[in-house]
């Protein structure tokens, strides 16, 4: 006998109400989280996080997830997604190992304050199709580590791979006797209405993806951590190791077919080394194209980014743009001059295409980078290839940015690397410049709150002279 479709309360044979279905998911999540918190311990939170991490990191499952992600989204490539899934998760596990997220996390006799870790509750995580495995896994691990439950809202293209990720996590949970309702997802098919409902019903929103999703997250009425647009600009100055810079830019620009918000979109080269850098770039697989208008017209044929080049392999990009380039070309560098709305190459391209600008000197390079960031990508990050360390400070004070990445492959460094101190993450806060509440990489601390016990201590009230004495001596009362 065939299975009948679910009934509505009126007995009709229609499909279930999608909002009611979402509300039921939230109710399950809330019940699971309440028990997880009530019966929680540091050991339990750590084991749940490890179970979720191993679900994606086990090599056979990692490959399966990477293949599924590429097959269903059509974005990126399998080998790089395997690397991303592994390294991002391993780095996150390194970052949270030994971190206390349960019970007393600070007891300060001097201030009289004892701080107790408390979960946020139900996390609603909106994740993009560009990273349909690594980003939800990162959010899930952080949520579990801090005593929360989580409901993931994947993009429509990413729903299939997200569902498989959750199946694998639930299988790991079964090994340790953990509640699978701690990790759920918005039922397919996804929709803006369901995602909006989740944003209003959860206790904390973590949103990575389109700026439309970010705006809706920040206006949903629920506390939200949302991140800004990436449009990375990198400066190569006259002191740089050009061979190393060219290779790092190639590695970063081509990784996972430029799906990362931290992939270079523009490179600004000081005139004195421009020709030498272009030669090194060619040796590293970058083909220089001088037809700025022609490439722009083919990249945005109808005013929208050409989907046949977004996050695609080099051969598909080259064919779609109708280019004749040397064999072995891995990415395209378009000689550019204009910046702003009328010059789309100065914006984010989500492809193996970058804009190459020529600057008179370092000061001019800083101004070009600043104009690009003010056009798009303010707050996210900029890069510098230089042996003059003082120039990083110049960038850090001249450009509206939260990160200056020095002499590194940008997309690897920005989201955390084993060779720098940035937290491993796939979501970069962009501060007020990018319309965000945070200027840090999204990490475990954004999934945790605390209660403070405040005890009376000996009074530390200063005298007026303690505060104003020096001022009075300088200017009088």
Place of tokens 């000061």: 363
For the chain, first and last CA: distance in Å?
A: 93
| C-alpha dist (Å) from residue 361 to 150, 239, 271, 290, 357 | 49, 11, 6, 21, 12
Decide: 30 and 121 in contact? Cβ < 8 Å: yes
* Closest to 236 measured CA to CA, from 188, 171, 284, 179: 284
Place of tokens 């200063």: 462
Q: Which helix (H) or strand (E) holds 387?
A: none
CA 316 to chain centre: 26
Q: Give rounded-to-5 percent helix, strand, coil for the chain.
A: 45, 15, 35
Give residues with Cβ within 8 angstroms of 380, minimum separation 6. Answer: 228, 229, 230, 231, 232, 261, 262, 373, 401, 402, 403, 428, 430, 434
Active-site residue identified among 146, 162, 207, 261: 261
Q: Alpha-carbon distance 171 to 166, whole Å?
A: 9
Decide: 230 and 261 in contact? Cβ < 8 Å: yes
For this structure, is 261 an active site residue? yes
Catalytic residues, which ones?
A: 261
């Amino acid at each position: 006998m065939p299975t009948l479709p679910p009934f509505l309360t009126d007995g009709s044979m229609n499909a279930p109400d999608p909002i009611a279905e979402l509300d039921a998911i939230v109710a399950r999540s809330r019940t699971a989280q309440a028990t997880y918190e009530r019966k929680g311990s540091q050991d339990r939170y750590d084991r749940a996080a490890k179970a979720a991490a191993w679900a994606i990191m086990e090599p056979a499952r990692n490959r399966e997830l990477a293949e599924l992600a590429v097959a269903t989204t059509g974005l990126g490539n399998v080998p790089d997604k395997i690397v991303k899934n592994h390294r991002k998760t391993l780095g996150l596990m390194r970052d949270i190992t030994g971190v206390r997220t349960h019970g007393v996390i600070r007891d300060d006799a001097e201030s009289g304050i004892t701080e107790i870790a408390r979960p946020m509750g139900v996390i609603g995580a909106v994740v993009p199709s560009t990273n349909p495995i690594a980003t939800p896994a990162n959010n899930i691990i952080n949520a579990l580590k801090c005593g929360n439950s989580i409901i993931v809202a994947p993009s429509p293209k990413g729903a299939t791979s997200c569902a498989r990720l959750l199946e694998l996590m639930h299988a790991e949970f079964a090994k340790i006797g953990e509640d699978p309702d701690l990790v759920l997802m918005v039922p397919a098919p996804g929709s803006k209405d369901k995602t909006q409902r989740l944003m209003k019903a959860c206790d904390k929103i973590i949103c990575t993806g389109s700026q439309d999703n970010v705006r809706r997250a920040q206006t949903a009425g629920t506390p939200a951590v949302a991140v800004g647009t990436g449009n990375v600009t990198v400066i190569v100055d006259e002191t740089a190791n050009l061979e190393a810079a060219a290779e790092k830019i190639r590695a970063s620009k081509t990784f996972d077919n430029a799906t990362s918000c931290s992939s270079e979109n523009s490179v600004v080269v000081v005139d004195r080394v421009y020709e030498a850098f272009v030669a090194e770039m060619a040796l590293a697989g970058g083909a220089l194209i001088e037809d700025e208008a022609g490439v722009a017209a083919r990249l945005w044929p109808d005013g929208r980014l050409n989907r046949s080049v977004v996050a695609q392999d080099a051969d598909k990009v080259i064919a779609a743009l109708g280019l004749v380039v040397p064999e072995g070309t891995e990415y395209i560098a378009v000689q550019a001059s204009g910046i702003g709305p009328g010059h789309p190459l100065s914006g984010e391209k989500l492809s193996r295409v970058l804009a190459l600008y020529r600057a008179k000197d370092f000061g001019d390079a800083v101004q070009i980078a600043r104009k690009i960031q003010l056009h798009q990508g303010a707050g996210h990050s900029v890069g510098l290839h230089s042996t003059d360390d003082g120039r990083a400070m110049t960038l850090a004070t001249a450009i509206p940015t939260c990160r200056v990445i020095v002499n590194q492959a940008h997309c690897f460094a920005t989201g955390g690397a084993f060779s720098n101190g940035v937290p491993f993450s796939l979501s970069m806060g962009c501060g007020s410049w990018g319309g965000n509440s945070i200027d840090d990489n999204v990490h475990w601390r954004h999934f945790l709150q605390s209660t403070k016990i405040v005890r009376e201590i000996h009074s530390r009230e200063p005298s007026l002279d303690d505060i104003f004495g020096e001022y009075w001596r300088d200017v009088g009362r």
